[in-house]
Copies of this chain bind each other. A is one copy, B any other.
Amino acid sequence: MTRRRFTGQLDLEHGSVDLTHGSGGRAMAQLIDELFRRHLDNALLAQGNDQALFQPPPGRLAISTDGHVIAPLFFPGGDIGCLAVHGTVNDVAMSGARPLYLAAGFILEEGLPLADLARIVRSMAQAANEAGVAVVTGDTKVVERGKGDGCFITTTGVGVVPDGIDISGDRAVPGDAILVSGCLGDHGVAIMSRRENLGFETEIASDTAALHDLVAAMIAAVPEIHCLRDPTRGGLATTLNELALQSGVGMRIHEPAIPVRPEVAAACELLGLDPLYVANEGKLVAICPAERADTLLMAMRSHPKGRDAAIIGQVIEDPHRFVQMETAFGGSRIVDWLAGEQLPRIC
């Protein structure tokens, strides 16, 4: 890798981002060299061009983009850096794809401590490394103080879909089983408890994680999975409504079957949140033919990221495309779309 001539190194201990770091000039080149390329190092990024070239493996490609604007930047269980990797890896993986490459666009606010930025970039690098994806190209912009909020990261991912896999939100059919991969609400509650400075006895950590390996294990066991989606903003309730609308079906879920940690349920009650609407960053919803549900469940539970997986309901015929829930007390209610905004800046 070529390096530019600089008079001094970035002061990663006491320095902060200023407008010159977005200028296209010497300071930006230094930031890219000493921070981004150093930590995210890979052969494609080292090409040093404004784009990365790669020979795709055979098959269909999946592309997905996701902006990350979470506040605070650092939270129990993660930070915006690993979240920006996990979020996009997961959106790519929900097509059944194996993620290959990421592009990262940073929008930094003047004044962001370089130490914070370095921590974020290191976290991205570690998350990308663990997920087996490379950040192959990127971009950095700086906005004036008060025109941003520290750091926003938009990541775009590309992956390859194995032959014979056809997973899409419009493929749910009546009779299908609905599964979730684990306990709901951890991410949203972790963020909210940090924002509100609530000191719970047990700290609740975000579930932020890359799910592509869980997905690979699932499609190896049950290639005929119909739908996969990660219930992030808007939570399980919104994701199920999206899938019901897209597929033109209804859904019936069983409240007692939905896994929620007791401490998350308690925190939700305290915070006035409904765990069905709280964001997750390391969970997925799967819909598959009923007769394959047990096999899929077993495959999920055999994977560390699906240990607490559960079958939570079934797809039904419904011209209204409603999601209904049988409650723990034997009643039934409609689980509607999220109407307002429970948790701004959750991802």
Residue of chain B at shortest CB distance from A1: B246
Return chain B residues, CB-CB under 8 Å to A54: 60-61, 63
Asked if A232 is at the interface of the complex by the 8 Å CB criterion, the answer is: yes
Asked if A95 is at the interface of the complex by the 8 Å CB criterion, the answer is: yes
In whole angstroms, what is the CA distance A56 to B101 when docked? 15
The stretch that binds B, out of A125-133, A136-144, A175-183, A214-222, is: A136-144
Q: How many copies altogether?
A: 2
Contact with B along A1-20 (1 / 0, CB 8 A): 01010000000000000111
In whole angstroms, what is the CA distance A168 to B48 when docked? 9
In-complex Cβ contact of A158 among B24, B139, B148, B158 (8 A): B158
Asked if A106 is at the interface of the complex by the 8 Å CB criterion, the answer is: yes
In whole angstroms, what is the CA distance A136 to B63 when docked? 8
Return chain B residues, CB-CB under 8 Å to A337: 4, 25-26, 29
Contact with B along A239-259 (1 / 0, CB 8 A): 000100110100000000000
Contact with B along A53-94 (1 / 0, CB 8 A): 111100011111111110100000000000000000001101
Asked if A23 is at the interface of the complex by the 8 Å CB criterion, the answer is: yes
Return chain B residues, CB-CB under 8 Å to A64: 50-52, 103, 137
In-complex Cβ contact of A248 among B2, B27, B55, B103 (8 A): B2
- In the complex, the answer to whether A147 meets B144 with C-beta atoms within 8 Å is no
In whole angstroms, what is the CA distance A242 to B25 when docked? 9
Given known contacts A54-B61, A61-B56, A156-B103, is B169 in contact with A23 (CB within 8 Å)? no
Chain A binding site: helix, strand, loop or mixed by DSSP? mixed
Residue of chain B at shortest CB distance from A144: B344
Return chain B residues, CB-CB under 8 Å to A24: 232-235, 238, 279, 338
- In the complex, the answer to whether B238 meets A92 with C-beta atoms within 8 Å is no
Asked if A154 is at the interface of the complex by the 8 Å CB criterion, the answer is: yes
Asked if A304 is at the interface of the complex by the 8 Å CB criterion, the answer is: no
Considering only residues 96-134 of chain A, those with a C-beta below 8 Å from chain B are 97, 101, 103-107
The 8 A-B residue pairs with the shortest CB-CB distance in the complex, in nearest-first order: A24-B233, A25-B338, A24-B234, A51-B64, A156-B156, A154-B154, A65-B103, A105-B154
